[in-house]
Amino acid sequence: MCDTCGCNITHGNEHLIAPGGKLATTASGHEAIDVLHNLLHENDHTAQHNREHFNAHGVTAINLMSSPGSGKTALLEATIKALGDEFRIAVIEGDLETENDAERIRSLGVTAIQITTGSACHLDAHMVHDALHNLDLADFDIVFIENVGNLVCPASFDLGQHSNIALLSVPEGDDKPAKYPVMFRTADMVMLSKADLLPILDDFKPERAERYLRELASSAPVIQTSAKSGEGMDDWLDWLREQVSNRPAQTQAPHSHASHTHP
């Protein structure tokens, strides 16, 4: 949604500002200014700027979101091993503390930028923007952004990515889409990770997880994978190749580009 074309005025909220609506008149003598600003405007503006930078270099940016410990870093390690020769990959890691995840990625010979958020429970577009200052985008085809492990807050912040992936690991239980609808609604693909545990944790029903997802009106594909056993990795890699081939055509760099230290 933006603030300029009026697309943020919807069926649901237009009655609030329509003549005679609750907000059309002021009860006090004070002057009232009607606005319809998206409160996340500042973040979304920077996210769009980030997206333009990715597009300018033909880079596909993928945001990974999930609970802590659901296998985001393990998925990236397996992906780098499988596709390291096919694509030039970089990773932006988000964690409250430590460089552990970035070091795991670097040990595979891949560039990783660690963002330590302190007590912040999500990445926002500004943090990713700062990380991009340390990344020469001309050198990469895919940038993975590993968000802070959290099924709540990351869902509300656009980072400038092209696709969102939500991982749901088998030990977490199959009803997570019903419990965290805001997160799972944003997913362009849902990955049921640690699928090698399905025979042991047989109360997790993949079809039930998918049904909960469909009830959020999401048509996102659901892929079962195990980074450990390799199960489903081909489906994931095919999905990823499709994202890269569907990425927007390389565009002109944003106007402000020259004044930045961005590549």
Site string for another protein, 138-157 (x = CB under 8 A): --------------xx-xx-
Task: Give the nearer residue to another protein in terms of CB position, either 1 or 138.
Answer: 1
Which of 25/261 has CB closer to another protein? Answer: 25
Nearest to 49 by CA among 137, 153, 122, 146: 137
Q: Residue 13 corresponds to which tokens in the numbers above?
A: 């909220």
Q: Is 93 exposed, middle or buried (0-12, 13-18, 19+ CB in 10 A)?
A: buried
Min. distance of Cβ 17 from another protein in angstroms?
7
Q: Output the smallest distance, CB 222 to another protein, in A.
A: 14
Buried b (16+ CB within 10 A) or exposed e, 110-144: bbbbbbebeeeebbbbbbbbebbeebebeebbbbb
Q: How far is CA 153 from CA 5, 7, 52, 55, 161, in A?
A: 27, 24, 24, 26, 16
- Closest CB to another protein among residues 63, 79: 63
Interface residue with another protein, options 4, 5, 12, 119 (CB under 8 A): 12
Q: Which amino acid type is present at position 177?
A: P
244 binds another protein (CB under 8 A): no
Site string for another protein, 167-196 (x = CB under 8 A): ----------xxx-xx--x-----------
Decide if residue 208 touches another protein (CB under 8 A).
no
| Residue choice 2, 6, 18, 41 for contact with another protein (CB under 8 A) | 41
CB distance 99 to 260 below 8 Å: no
Tokens of 218: 């999401």
Cβ at position 94, least distance to another protein in Å: 17
Residue 142, by phi and psi: left (phi above 0), alpha (psi -120 to 50) or beta?
A: beta
Minimum CB separation of residue 85 from another protein in Å reads 39
Interface with another protein by CB under 8 A: which range of 26-34, 134-142, 201-209, 229-237?
Answer: 26-34
Q: Which is nearer to another protein, 40 or 197 (by Cβ)?
A: 40
For residues 52-66, one letter each, b for 16 or more C-beta atoms within 10 angstroms of the residue's C-beta and e for the rest, the string is bbbbbbbbbbbbbbb
* Residue 8 touching another protein (CB under 8 A): yes
Q: Is there binding between residue 6 and another protein (CB under 8 A)? A: no
| Alpha helices (runs of H) in 57-108, residue ranges in sequence order | 72-83, 100-106
What x/- string results for residues 111 through 130 when contact with another protein is judged by CB under 8 A? --------------------
Binding to another protein by residue 7, rule CB under 8 A? Answer: no
Taking CA 88 as the corner, what is the angle to CA 84 and CA 91, rounded to the nearest 5 degrees? 90
SS (HEC) of 248-260:
CCCCCCCHHHHHC
Summarize as ranges the residues that interact with another protein (CB under 8 A).
1, 8, 10-13, 16-17, 22-23, 26, 28, 30-42, 152-153, 155-156, 177-179, 181-182, 185, 212, 214-217, 219
